[in-house]
Amino acid sequence: MYNEDIRLAIDVGSSKVCSVVIRRDNFNEPEILAINILPSESIHDGDVMNRSEATAAVRTSISEVSNQCSLGFSKAYVGFGGKHVSSYSGWGKVSGFDFATGITEADIVEAVRIAASERVESTDHLLYATPTSYKVDDDTEFRKPPVGMHPDSLEVQALLVVSDMAHYRTVFDAVSNAGVTPIHGGSTLVAEAEFLLSQYERDAGVVLVDIGGSDTEIAVYNHGRAGLFTSLPIGGFHFTNDIAYAYELPYENAEAVKLAAGTLVGDALGIDDEIDPTSLSGSERVLDVERSLTRVSVSNLLKERAEETMKMYKSRISQVSGLPDTDFLTVVFTGGGSKLNGITTFAKLAMGLRGRVEVRKPTGIKSLPDDVSDPAMSGAICMALRALERIDRDNHVERKPITIVHSSESDEPELEPVAAAAPSGVGARIRAMLGR
């Protein structure tokens, strides 16, 4: 196990901590070794409310996956998302190209580095940077890298995805205090976009909507490039709170009602049936229910919230310049809130969409248990996949000390470590620039 490429990824979400252990099997395919989902009351509305409790939650989640695969871990990749992650654009300019080669990938990476250094504030931590457009000699614009051209100057526009520095440090401290060294912080939304969306969709225009507990993250791609990473302060909790408030139910029971009986389509079988909250999971806190609950009344309540939410989604998406008609964009939902029955049908009607609309989750991964093959786990699993496939070979397994007996003379030669291959391509160079 010590010589394998085994990764531990931790996603500290808006209401839960998820840990995933992943490796490549003998056929070079990704394989899940362990996975854990732990609700955390120390995280509320995306904020770490109690640092010691957050540390305890991370430590417990790591302990669970360690027990599942009988391995200890010394380091981990950490995923960031929610309202603390945002994006903005920056420009970087370079000149003085070699006459023989013209513009190279290294020049583009340098322009992105300049854009990040000039645009990213000290209160933010850069998670991800990618070029989105190019301009040569302050005039001609290109969508693809103008490698090999011989202009006087090159300007590169870069999308810069950042996390609030205070939140970044708080989460890293929680992981570090749990006994594991956090060696990388990345955007879970970037990882989801990479593994849930096809290259064709990113070229043609696609919107990824991750509905979390307290907020929704949105990524917009067009012409193969990211155009926006943003979040809105509305998520699955708000739907549940509407039910809890309207029917005077404890939150746990309102969540059970939403999952068991909530729907956004009006022609569901038995929609007029009454609902008994005491018969649903987590019903021990329900003593008496004043109002009558029926599927139709719960459905109407959820539709009101969903209609408002979809309008917010479309409004934010339409702010991205250069998109084709938003009505024809592909829209992909993921995250725990996307499990609400009928969400794709309702979204097509409420947002006036004529393109493909569907809910997705990570698939095709060896040893991924059916009970966690769930949109709610998309962020953690895609972060683990990104750590495995896009970042240099590593091993997060804790090496146990062993005693080696040395003879006075040895015929074995002393071997020098083999240097890792240098990263190639603009993306790999940018990740190397960011220390990824």
Range of the domain at 323: 232-359
Q: What is the pLDDT of residue 405?
A: 46
Per DSSP (E only), the strands in 40-187 are 43-44, 47-48, 75-80, 85-95, 124-136, 140-142, 153-164, 181-187
Q: What is the pLDDT of residue 65?
A: 92
Asked whether the predicted pLDDT for residue 42 surpasses 60, the reply is no
User: Over the chain, what is the mean pLDDT?
Assistant: 82
**Would you state the structure tokens that stand for residue 370, as one six-digit string?**
């059916």
Residue 177 resides in a domain: no
What mean pLDDT do residues 7-14 have? 85
CA pair distance 397, 76, nearest whole angstrom: 9
Residue 77 resides in a domain: no
The most confident of 265-274, 358-367, 415-424, by mean pLDDT: 358-367
375: CB partners within 8 A, 6+ apart: 333, 334, 335, 336, 338, 339, 359, 360, 361
Sheet of 357-359, strands arranged across: 225-232, 216-222, 206-211, 330-334, 357-359
Q: In the chain, how many domains are there?
A: 2
Residue 293 resides in a domain: yes
Q: pLDDT (tens digit, 9 = 90+) per residue, 120-164? A: 998 999 999 999 999 999 888 888 899 999 999 999 999 999 998
CA pair distance 433, 436, nearest whole angstrom: 7
Report the CATH number at residue 108.
Answer: 3.30.1490.110
**Would you state the structure tokens that stand for residue 120, as one six-digit string?**
């990213």
Q: What is the pLDDT of residue 285?
A: 53
The reported pTM is 0.84
Asked whether the predicted pLDDT for residue 419 surpasses 50, the reply is no
The verdict on 236 and 341 lying in the same domain is yes
Q: pLDDT (tens digit, 9 = 90+) per residue, 94-131? A: 999 988 899 999 999 999 999 999 999 989 999 999 99
The verdict on 138 and 251 lying in the same domain is no
Q: What is the pLDDT of residue 3?
A: 57
Asked whether the predicted pLDDT for residue 248 surpasses 80, the reply is yes
Residue 305 resides in a domain: yes
Q: pLDDT (tens digit, 9 = 90+) per residue, 311-352? A: 999 998 888 877 777 778 899 999 989 999 899 999 999 998
Q: pLDDT (tens digit, 9 = 90+) per residue, 252-299? A: 888 888 887 788 886 544 555 777 666 665 545 554 555 567 888 888
Q: What is the pLDDT of residue 196?
A: 94
CA pair distance 117, 111, nearest whole angstrom: 10
Residue 33 resides in a domain: no
Could you give the count of Cα atoms lying within 13 Å of 237 in the half-sphere of its Cβ? 14
Identify the domain boundary among 302, 329, 359: 359
The verdict on 245 and 353 lying in the same domain is yes
**Would you state the structure tokens that stand for residue 382, as one six-digit string?**
């895609």
What mean pLDDT do residues 167-185 have? 90
The verdict on 238 and 352 lying in the same domain is yes
The verdict on 236 and 332 lying in the same domain is yes
156: CB partners within 8 A, 6+ apart: 91, 92, 93, 94, 108, 111, 112, 115, 131, 133, 134, 135
Identify the domain boundary among 306, 330, 359: 359
Angle between helices 343-351 and 295-317 (to 10 degrees): 50
The burial of 414, by beta-carbon neighbours within 10 Å (0-12 exposed, 13-18 middle, 19 or more buried), is given as exposed
Please report, rounded to a whole number, the percentage of residues in the chain having pLDDT higher than 90: 37
Residue 12 resides in a domain: no
* Of residues 33 and 370, more confidently modeled: 33
Identify the domain boundary among 306, 329, 359: 359
Residue 134 resides in a domain: yes
3-state secondary structure at position 378? helix
Q: Considering only CA atoms, which of 230, 197, 231 is closest in space to residue 214? A: 231
Residue 120 resides in a domain: yes
In order, the DSSP letters of 227-294 are: EEEEEES--HHHHHHHHHHHHT--HHHHHHHHHHH-BS-TT-TTTT-B--GGGSTTGGG-----SPPB
Least confident residue range of 5-14, 234-243, 351-360 = 5-14
Asked whether the predicted pLDDT for residue 381 surpasses 80, the reply is yes
C-alpha triplet 39, 34, 235: angle, nearest 5°: 30
Asked whether the predicted pLDDT for residue 51 surpasses 90, the reply is no
The verdict on 245 and 335 lying in the same domain is yes
Report the CATH number at residue 319.
Answer: 3.30.420.40
